[in-house]
Structure 1
Amino acid sequence: MQIVTEHITLKNEDVILTNQRAIYWEREEALILSDIHIGKTAHFRRHGIPIPDGILQKDLNRLKELILHFNAKELFIVGDLFHAETNSDMATFKQWLTQFEDLNLVLIKGNHDTQSLRLMDDLGIVVMAQLEIEPFIFLHEPMDNTLNLFTISGHTHPGVLIKGRGKQKLKLPCYQVTVNQLILPAFSLFTGLNTRNIPKDASCYAFTDTSIFKL
């Protein structure tokens, strides 16, 4: 796995975009991501759809490498940490968390995060409707922001469609950045890409396994 970075400034704060579907906020030593959807693969298997076990493990391995790369002290998950009902993937995640005893994990609750508070307590997760640390507000779904604060959200699984010669087309995940918001790509590799809902005047930072670039 190769971690490629792009440094940008948001509201005078240094933020690092990565090609691994997460950003790092230097001031807070916080790794920030959205839409992991833990439990999605087990949910599909429970309903008779043969999804490989390795998808979740690959996502968790990427997350581990990012935490170690930045030596992150905080992990802000901007919604949809989980996907469906409590299932075997939650036990996998709980075991994975044991290697990060000093990591502070905050979940900004998303529309899929319907698990009990007892489970969240058991995992040591602080759950919030939104998190405000100036100059940012973290929330799951993008919103029309008339405030002076800058919103960081997820939910829409943003992507871009790049057209080549003839009928050649390529879809890539991306970050969408405007003057008052940043929309994160879905962290999980087991998600689709929404290439239609691009905010007005947004800059898109698309990425591949080996690069990240502004469109």
Structure 2
Amino acid sequence: MPGTDKITIFYDAMPLVLSAGRAVYWPEKKMLILSDLHLGKTGYFRAHGIPVSSAVLTDDLRRLGHLIHEFKPEQVLVAGDMFHHRFNNDVHLFQDWRQSYKELSFLLVPGNHDRHMDIDYAGIQVTVTPETYGLGEIHFVHEMQAEQAGRFTISGHLHPGYRISGKAKQSLCLPCFIRGRHHLILPAFSQFTGLYTGASAGHTCYVISENKLFEF
């Protein structure tokens, strides 16, 4: 089964482009959508004596920059957990990176980590929305509680993964998008996260492997 770097799905004839770069592009709104960037997580681990390289964050921001250059959005929306913990040097790295994209509007639908952050969002040119943010038929929330007919919900939080098992008891867990009838759960954008495999049953999964998407 050949993979592809992008797959277009539809909700009421409205296209949404899933990218193997762990994000979604909404052409109608010229919006790039992602979740669970977890800025500051590597700094948090280092502050607690666990040697995690800041190159993890640098690579996440490099991938985000690549998606911005590819899709050329006018706005970027983060569906929660843009930040991981208290202000640390990783946030300064984001501030420096943000200077290269001053023309872009950044929206943050606050997640469970963001609510505990003491950050000057205006100072880093990020607009914080209500916890449920609607644009036409699409609603954004960090953690979806239940599907609602008549609207399409895009969320994050779960860091969804899909487990592929082999014949010799070996298995591999990969990040994925989970598509339901009225919802889409995004993979964690940061590569420095765990994966939860308990939400994929009964849904279509778009699994990410080596910069390609595979439908299961």
Give the TM interval when normalised to the shorter protein.
over 0.9
Residue in 2 aligned with 1:81?
A: 82
Residue in 1 aligned with 2:192?
A: 190
Letter in 1 for 2:110: K
Distance (Å, rounded) in 2 between the aligned partners of 1:9 and 1:115: 35
Distance (Å, rounded) in 2 between the aligned partners of 1:185 and 1:210: 13
Letter in 2 for 1:36: L
Letter in 2 for 1:171: C
Distance (Å, rounded) in 1 between the aligned partners of 2:187 and 2:155: 9
Structure 1 vs Structure 2 CA RMSD = 1.2
Deviates more, 1:139-148 or 1:90-99: 139-148
Residue in 1 aligned with 2:170?
A: 168
Residue in 2 aligned with 1:41?
A: 42
Residue in 2 aligned with 1:72?
A: 73
**Residues 59-117 of structure 1: CA deviation (Å, up to 9, x unaligned):** 0000000001001111000000000001111111011000111100000000000223x
Does structure 2 conserve the Cα–Cα contact (< 8 Å) formed by 1:136 and 1:150? yes
Distance (Å, rounded) in 2 between the aligned partners of 1:19 and 1:92: 24
Letter in 2 for 1:161: R
Residue in 2 aligned with 1:63?
A: 64
Distance (Å, rounded) in 2 between the aligned partners of 1:126 and 1:147: 28
Distance (Å, rounded) in 2 between the aligned partners of 1:146 and 1:178: 11
Does structure 2 conserve the Cα–Cα contact (< 8 Å) formed by 1:109 and 1:127? yes
Distance (Å, rounded) in 2 between the aligned partners of 1:115 and 1:211: 34
Distance (Å, rounded) in 2 between the aligned partners of 1:201 and 1:167: 23
Distance (Å, rounded) in 2 between the aligned partners of 1:187 and 1:93: 15
Question: TM-score, structure 1 length as denominator?
Answer: 0.95
**Secondary structure in 1 matching 2:32:** strand
Deviates more, 1:133-142 or 1:5-14: 5-14
Distance (Å, rounded) in 1 between the aligned partners of 2:149 and 2:198: 26
1:157 aligned residue (156, 159, 163): 159
Distance (Å, rounded) in 1 between the aligned partners of 2:194 and 2:148: 30
Does structure 2 conserve the Cα–Cα contact (< 8 Å) formed by 1:161 and 1:169? yes
Distance (Å, rounded) in 1 between the aligned partners of 2:16 and 2:190: 21
Q: How does 1:1-215 map to 2 (within 5 A)?
A: 4-113=5-114, 114-116=116-118, 119-128=120-129, 129-198=131-200, 201-215=202-216
Shift of 1:206: 0.3
Shift of 1:207: 1.3
Shift of 1:210: 3.4
**Secondary structure in 2 matching 1:27:** helix
**Secondary structure in 1 matching 2:176:** strand
Give the gaps of 5 or more residues in structure 1: none
Letter in 2 for 1:144: A
Aligned-residue sequence identity (percent) comes to 37
Aligned pair count? 211
